[in-house]
Amino acid sequence: MKRINLLLATSAAVSLAAGSAFAADMANEMTIVSWGGAYSASQLNAYHNPYSEKTGVKIINDESSPEAVAKLRAMKEANNLTWDLVDVEAADAIRLCDEGLAMEIDADTQLADAPDGTKAKDDFGDLMVSDCFIPQIVFSTTFGYRKDMVPAGTEPPTGACDVFDLQKYPGKRALNKQPVANMEWALLCDGVAYEDVYDTLETDEGVARAFAKLDTIKDQTIWWTASAQPVQLLADGEIFMGSAYNGRLFAMIEEQKQPVGMAWDWQMFDIDGWVVPAGLPEDRLARVMDYLYFATDTQRLADQAKYISYGPARKSSAPLVGKHATLGIEMAPHMPTDPNNAKHTFVNNYTWWADYRDDLDAKFQAWLAN
């Protein structure tokens, strides 16, 4: 009999201890969904840690942004919302807003004004592409190349169109496994004028033309699905050049000292920011809005640029961008918006993509498969 009692006692004790440890944290914590890696680290340093210190709210990081749309749909279906705040790209934010999965926010009344009194909406300006979306950073998808693999006697690549030039730059390349950016680059480098790219993509011939251009490098291309992959491939020397987020390339070149160069031309600008899931209970919503007010003010956005080379979304933050927190180098020349890097830029038309994304995703997957 002793043994049973012992067994029962231990199992009860274990589950009680575990359960109470868990329940204690539940009340004052917040789950924030983001992209992981260096990007999450920059948010941790610039927003989460200062906020937790100030308020005592514990912030749990969920690195599920790549599946944010699908997961929010499942949560709605199951009527079980476990996320408090989600970091998504602009196009996803528009989709989530259209589906009623994200909450509309009035920036002027619910977010902080700029230090000079400018209202939040004016401070964010054109970047507020949806009523549900609070912009955070401007980032770009651009190209990195191995400096030591440039063929002798050849100029190093300068931009997106060099990825299609197998004669001049032989070797494997890496591209994001999605139509966004790749389709635009394919048309642009095939001779379509910048202004006409999206109009061309609306036609079947335009889509076929983009795929035909991509066909020329298909067998030399490794498709990446996670933003850390192209960086790893470059570090390994598995590829000659590849598209990657400029912040990842910055971390690789400046922090890890890899022999990699940037090819900025026709970098694809995009915006990333917050959405609040629709249907949060009152107490959680209040906590999220308090966090948002704090984390999207002018100083906080400028602080994030100390840790990663993404441009702050508020106009008023730009003059406050200084040196990197640990490396001590000026961050301005590494921003995608720096005049030297932004000679030719491509502004991602997220509203267009919000309408055409599902259709082109299907076509792109079909093209990949055969």
Partner 1 sequence: MAVLTTVPRRPASFYVPVVAAFGAFVGLFVGTAQGSGPLGILGGAILMGALAFLLTHAPLAEKQLRWIVAVVFAIAGFALAGLSAGIIGAALGWFFGWLTFWLFEGRYRAHLVPYLTPGQVLWHYTFRVICGAIFIFLITPILVVLPLSFNAQDFFTFTPEMLALDPAGYSLKHYRDFFTNSDWQNALRNSLMIAPVATLLSVGFGTLAAIGLSQPHVPFRRAIMAILISPMIVPLIISAAGMYFFYSRAGLQGTYIGVVLAHAALGIPFVIITVTATLVGFDNSLTRAAANMGADPVTTFFRVQMPLILPGVISGALFAFITSFDEVVVVLFVGSAGQKTLPWQMFIGLREQISPTILAVATILVAISIALLTVLELLRRRSERLRGMSPS
Interface with partner 1 by CB under 8 A: which residues? 1, 3-4, 11, 14-15, 18-19, 21-22, 25-26, 29, 31, 33, 35-38, 40, 60-64, 66, 74, 77-80, 82, 225-229, 231-232, 235-236, 256
CB count in 10 Å sphere of residue 180: 21
Question: Please, what is the minimum distance in Å from the beta carbon of residue 205 to partner 1?
Answer: 36
Q: What's the min distance (Å) between Cβ of 28 and partner 1?
A: 12
Query: What 3-state DSSP class applies to 259?
Result: coil
* Residue nearer to partner 1 on the CB measure, 39 or 353: 39
How far is it, in rounded angstroms, from Cα 295 to Cα 111?
9
Start-to-end Cα distance in the chain = 67
Question: Judged by CB, which is closer to partner 1: 29, or 355?
Answer: 29
Tokens representing residue 200 in the block: 């061309």
> Which H or E run contains 223?
strand 221-224
- Residue 132 Cβ vs partner 1, minimum distance, rounded to whole Å: 22
The closest alpha carbon to 126, from 347, 358, 365, belongs to: 347
Mapping DSSP to helix (H, G, I), strand (E, B) and coil, where does residue 160 land? helix
Residue closer to partner 1 by CB (options 146, 209) is 146
Tell me the C-alpha to C-alpha distance, in Å, between residue 303 and each of 42, 167, 293, 300: 9, 43, 15, 5
CB burial of residue 58 (10 Å; 0-12, 13-18, 19+): middle
Q: Which CB atom, from 22 or from 153, has the smaller least distance to partner 1? A: 22
Task: Please identify, using beta-carbon distances, which residue of 232 and 299 lies nearer to partner 1.
Answer: 232
Q: Please say whether the dihedral angle defined by the alpha carbons of residues 282, 287, 290 and 295, taken in this order, is positive or negative.
A: negative
Of the two residues 32 and 94, which places its CB atom closer to partner 1 in the complex? 32
User: What CA–CA distance (Å, rounded) separates 132 from 328?
Assistant: 36
Helix (H, G, I), strand (E, B) or coil at 89: strand
* Closest separation in Å from C-beta 39 to partner 1: 8
CB of 136 to partner 1, least distance (A): 17
Q: For residue 194, how many other CB atoms are within 10 A of its CB? A: 14
Closest distance of CB 235 from partner 1, Å: 4
The least CB distance from residue 60 to partner 1, in Å, is: 5
d(CA 93, CA 131) in angstroms, rounded, equals: 9
The DSSP-derived string for 169-200 is: S-S-EEEESSSTTHHHHHHHHTT--GGGHHHH
Of residues 310 and 346, the one with the C-beta less far from partner 1: 310
The smaller minimum CB distance to partner 1, of residues 54 and 257, is found at: 257
- Neighbouring C-beta atoms of residue 187, cutoff 10 Å: 22
Nearer to partner 1, 61 or 118 (CB): 61
CB of 134 to partner 1, least distance (A): 21
CB 94 → partner 1: shortest distance, Å?
A: 23
In the numeric block, the tokens 């100083």 are attached to 299
CA-wise closest residue to 92 among 296, 350, 363? 350
